[in-house]
Amino acid sequence: MAEIQEDGELYDEVNVVPMLDLAYVLLVIFIILTTATVQGVKVDLPKASAAPSLAKPKTKAISITADGTIFLDTYPVSLSELETLLQGYRAADPDLPVIVKADATIQYQRVVDVLDLMGRLEITQLGLVTQRVVK
């Protein structure tokens, strides 16, 4: 059915923009309701026994600050204290995972000293933390 515009011409087009707006609103509502129902599922979890866990121990983090201070997890330690503590952890778990985080401005020798210590203690699961460069 043709309609007459203000200037007297006929046009046969239907404006679909309001229908698209409605479709987008319904799509957003559907997405929100779907994710809300998935997160709201209640599950009665089983209880664990008091037996020792088979899970891996927590990873140990060695941090070296810009002034050269060494931290094991969040506690400041000297290189000799670090060696003693890691020997104890390594005795409890031969596959002790360790990560090393060092400040970018630190002297390279300080990092090499820590890595040499890891080699002496035969810690093979070692990771070096870096920051991803965003281009």
Burial class of residue 90 (count of CB atoms within 10 Å of its CB; 0-12, 13-18, 19+):
middle
What pLDDT is stored for residue 13 in this prediction? Answer: 74
- Report pLDDT for 99: 87
d(CA 99, CA 115) in angstroms, rounded, equals 10
Domain ranges of the chain: 3-39, 60-128
What CATH number labels 60-128? 3.30.420.270
Query: What are the 10-residue block averages of pLDDT along the chain, 135 residues in total?
Result: 64 80 91 65 61 64 86 88 90 86 83 89 85 69
Q: What is the pLDDT of residue 133?
A: 65
pTM for this prediction: 0.55
- For residue 25, what pLDDT is reported? 93
98 φ, ψ (degrees, to nearest 5)? -130, 140
User: What residue type is 51 in one-letter code?
Assistant: A
